[in-house]
Amino acid sequence: MHTAFALVIGNGSSALRGRIVFPPLLEMLAFFISFIAMPWRCGAALAENSETGVRKAERVERIVAARGQGYFPVMIKLKDRSLGAVIRGGAPHIGVGGRLDWIRSEDGGRTWSKPAVIVDSKWDDRNPSLGQMADGTIVVGYAEASTYDAQGKWDTSAGAYELFYVNSHDNGKTWSPKNEFYSGPIINGSAFGRIIHDRHGTALMAIYGERNPLYKGPEKLDGKASDYSGIIRSRDNGRTWGDFSLILSGHNEASLQLLPDGRLIAVVRTEGGALSVAESSDDGYHWSLTQKLTREGQHPADICLLKNGRLLVTYGNRLRPYGVGCVTSSDRGRTWNYDNRVMLAWDSENTDCGYPSTLQLDDGTILTMYYSVGTKSLPGVAQAVCLRYGEAAVSVPSTPSSPTPGSSP
């Protein structure tokens, strides 16, 4: 599914956010022999995987929201019109000391508060989701990873990923004890992204993971894939979660958006590290895969419905130049203008970057928060970066295109 050396962060599946799978030794050996024997392929591959010719957005304001941390940010607008975000700190991309922190902005993302702890167990707390319920309750879902040996080294045989959530009833000042939530047929999984509400007001949280072979409940998985992407629901303002539905097999991290006609659209990361689009017309109980959206190395995504009616998908770009890219749809997700994609950030030092979270303020300003381990302005420093820009920065011709001809199902 994916390799376990440096490339895993850029082009693996859910990799260091989820589980690491080591390839057979012979496959690795064959890869290196092929690479050495045909060196001329290297330049061609780099050229093919480059995004250097993609248009770069203009008039983008950059704010460092947090330094020395900031992994996997999820940002939302709160009911009092301030902004809140959950970010990971306490350890690098992977580390037993990982914790989840809360930051807020009361000036549209121009400045951010000091991080305050949401959850910090003895294990690695990571991979958050975030949303606010109708009664004001803020919910953070996350994975607690005990996959470390006695020396604190990563070891998938030493533990598992367990799913929990915590709630706040005072805008993030205090948080409840952790609660384990129902994940249906999913095991060793994680939550992901922004929690949304369907047309009836039911809260939807995206989760993903492996098939649980011991599960005896009503929701069935085919067992043919490594990853399964789904949603769970809450109808009591985030106090309890359940009612699992599968989005796609062979996929993991999913970003959700409710459309004005009541449909749900999901942009989902494939096991190969690209993005697919799926939609549902029955409140997320059944989904259809509609098309492939990006190339491998462009993941994961966040989807946002703009005030001008267009859909904006932002994604981590693990192709040179590293950073964040975006693509738009002018017909509510039926077609996408991939050929006119735009780079929003392009100064990350390596592939340990991305996981954008995007929203639009009441005045039309768009905000995208992402993380990067090193940028040109702050080399070698883990950081959460908040971008502020207008709709004009991502405006493109409305002619749709396909990223890879013949790739649509």
In the chain, where the domains are located: 7-394
What amino acid is encoded at 319 in this protein? Answer: L
CA distance 58 to 76: 24
What amino acid is encoded at 289 in this protein? Answer: L
Please give the span between the terminal C-alpha atoms of the chain, in angstroms, as a whole number: 21
Segment among 27-31, 229-233, 259-263, 375-379 with least mean pLDDT = 27-31
In CATH, the number for domain 7-394 is: 2.120.10.10
CA distance 100 to 121: 10
Name the percent of the chain lying above pLDDT 90: 83
CA distance 185 to 179: 18
Predicted confidence (pLDDT) per residue in 224-243, tens digit: 999 999 999 999 999 999 99
How many Cα atoms are found within 13 Å in the side-chain-facing hemisphere of 14?
27
Angular region, 406: left φ>0, alpha ψ -120 to 50, beta rest: left
**Tokens 């994961």 identify what position?**
300
pLDDT: which is higher, 36 or 135: 135
For residue 217 the two structure tokens come to 């409940």
How many Cα atoms are found within 13 Å in the side-chain-facing hemisphere of 178?
14
What amino acid is encoded at 358 in this protein? Answer: T
Q: Which residues of 335-346 are buried (b: 16+ CB within 10 A; e: fewer)?
A: bbbbebbbbbbb
For residue 369 the two structure tokens come to 């928060």
| Of 394, 271, 381, 401, residue with least CA distance to 324 | 394
What amino acid is encoded at 135 in this protein? Answer: D
**401: pLDDT confidence band, cut at 50, 70 and 90?**
low
What pTM was estimated for this model as a whole?
0.89
Q: How many CB atoms within 10 Å of residue 155? A: 14
Tell me what pLDDT residue 49 has.
77
Predicted confidence (pLDDT) per residue in 50-106, tens digit: 999 999 999 999 999 999 999 999 999 999 999 999 999 999 999 999 999 999 999
Q: How many CB atoms within 10 Å of residue 43? A: 9
Judge whether residue 161 has pLDDT over 90: yes
**Cα dihedral across residues 105, 110, 116, 117: positive or negative:** positive
Angular region, 12: left φ>0, alpha ψ -120 to 50, beta rest: beta
For residue 262 the two structure tokens come to 């009541």
For residue 200 the two structure tokens come to 């009836």
**14: pLDDT confidence band, cut at 50, 70 and 90?**
very low
Residue 149, SS3?
coil
Predicted confidence (pLDDT) per residue in 118-133, tens digit: 999 999 999 999 999 9
